[in-house]
Structure 1
Amino acid sequence: MKHVLIIEDEMLIAMHLESLIADIAGTTIDLAARESEAVLLAEARPPSLILSDVRLAEGTGTAAVRTIRKMLGPVPVIYVTGNPDHPECDAPVIAKPIRDDLLIAAASNMLSERSADIIAAA
């Protein structure tokens, strides 16, 4: 089962991302609005993929991603942000407003690659 962590403090955008990812078969989803919440959720249920905004009302998505990667090792990330040139974005970026087709394609690709890596390591 693939698991996606969405880090987004704007509820309507978070729900939209959730609806797009829910269409990818065999995927479960957690939503976090704050940096600290994202870290706790990732620790409890390690994600196969993280979709993250950069700026949050409490903390930043980039700091949450760094902490999660320190705990869990490499985790694929797609930043979904209104600030696509942010210097701390060290992963693919999809600019807001979101193009649904790009997000679905990128997430599907990363989840497929992650599954292939797990199978190869077994």
Structure 2
Amino acid sequence: MTDLPRPTTMSELIGPHLPFLRRYARALTGNQDSGDRHAAATLEAILVDPTCFDQSIGGKAGLFKVFHSIWSSAGAPVPEASDGLRGRAMAHMAKLTPNTREALLLHTVEGFSLDDVGAIMGLSGDEAQALVDLARKEMQQSVQGRVLIIEDEAIIAMDLEGIVTMMGHEVTGIARTRDAAVKMALEHKPDLILTDIQLADNSSGIDAINQILPDHDAPVIFITAFPERLLTGERPEPAFLIAKPYEPDQVISAVSQAMFFASTETLKA
């Protein structure tokens, strides 16, 4: 007698994608607590009414579609403006065309096809493409700044420098170790930091960031081959995380987002 395949449970469909939903929610809100609240509301909605979860478009896309429905019904909230770097970021956010930021993140950071982005947001693939293009244009025109790169692999560092420079930003330095990174950050006061985790002398990019942030408030993007070290489900986690190997569009999107939101949440060593 041939055993019939066991039906896939809802937790099996959703569970593997939760870390990425949390990453997306944090990038949208610029804040870990706010992002996690929206992610939790998504899970609660599915528990209350499982029919809202569209399995036909896949587990990840179905999960993000429920999130987007909740996000949109809440008015796609942008955090209230405040003083300092985050306040300036919120002022820029208020000028963005609605839905452009969401489409850009879904496509370039979360890796959804334009058709999937459309399915999640209730749009056609062509409409999703138009939103992504507009998001890139608006974000790159709105914010330019100084960027510190912490990366011990020369080819990757040069590639990141090229991408950041192409976007109109100034690279203040490239550090290969924790100590060099801390020194450069104190000397040049970057507006944004791109960092790997594992550095040349076996020091840690996480340690470098934790030394830098108490003295200098700047958003941080982790670019690492070890994302599992950061997406642990424990607090705090970074709002901006790109896994190696990366695509240039992922870096462009994350840099634009980070400049807007100025999230300084990072990890404790």
1:4 matches 2:147: yes
Q: Which residue of 2 aligns with 1:110?
A: 258
What's the C-alpha RMSD, in Å, of the aligned pairs? 1.7
SS in 2 for 1:5: strand
Match of 2:207 in 1: 63
The partner residue of 1:13 within 156, 166, 169 is 156
The runs of 5 or more residues in structure 2 that have no matched partner are 1-143, 263-269
Moved >6 Å (runs of 4+): none
2:90 corresponds to 1:90: no
Alignment identity in percent? Answer: 35
Structure 1 residue 24, shift from structure 2 partner: 1.3
Measured after TM superposition, the shift of residue 79 of structure 1 is: 0.4
Per the alignment, in what secondary structure is the counterpart of residue 105 of structure 1?
helix
Q: 1 or 2, which has the higher helix percentage?
A: 2
Residue number in structure 2 paired with 1:118:
none
Q: CA deviation at 1:49?
A: 0.7
TM-score (norm 2): 0.40
SS at structure 2 position matched to 1:70: coil
SS at match of 2:229: coil
Which has the larger strand fraction?
Answer: 1
Q: Match for residue 34 of structure 1?
A: 177
The secondary structure found in structure 1 opposite 2:146 is: strand
**TM-score for the superposition, normalised by structure 1:** 0.85
C-alpha distance in 2 between matches for 1:93 and 1:110:
10
Deviation at 1:109, TM superposition (A): 2.1
SS of the residue aligned with 1:85?
helix
- CA deviations on 1:97-122 (whole Å, 9 max, x unpaired) are 011101101102222445xxxxxxxx
Measured in 1, the distance between the counterparts of 2:199 and 2:241 equals 16
User: Of residues 166, 185, 188 in structure 2, which corresponds to 1:23?
Assistant: 166
Find the counterpart in structure 2 of residue 75 from structure 1: 218
- Highest CA radius of gyration, 1 or 2? 2
Q: Secondary structure at the match of 2:246?
A: coil
**Match of residue 48, structure 1, among 175, 180, 191:** 191
Aligned residue pairs, count? 112
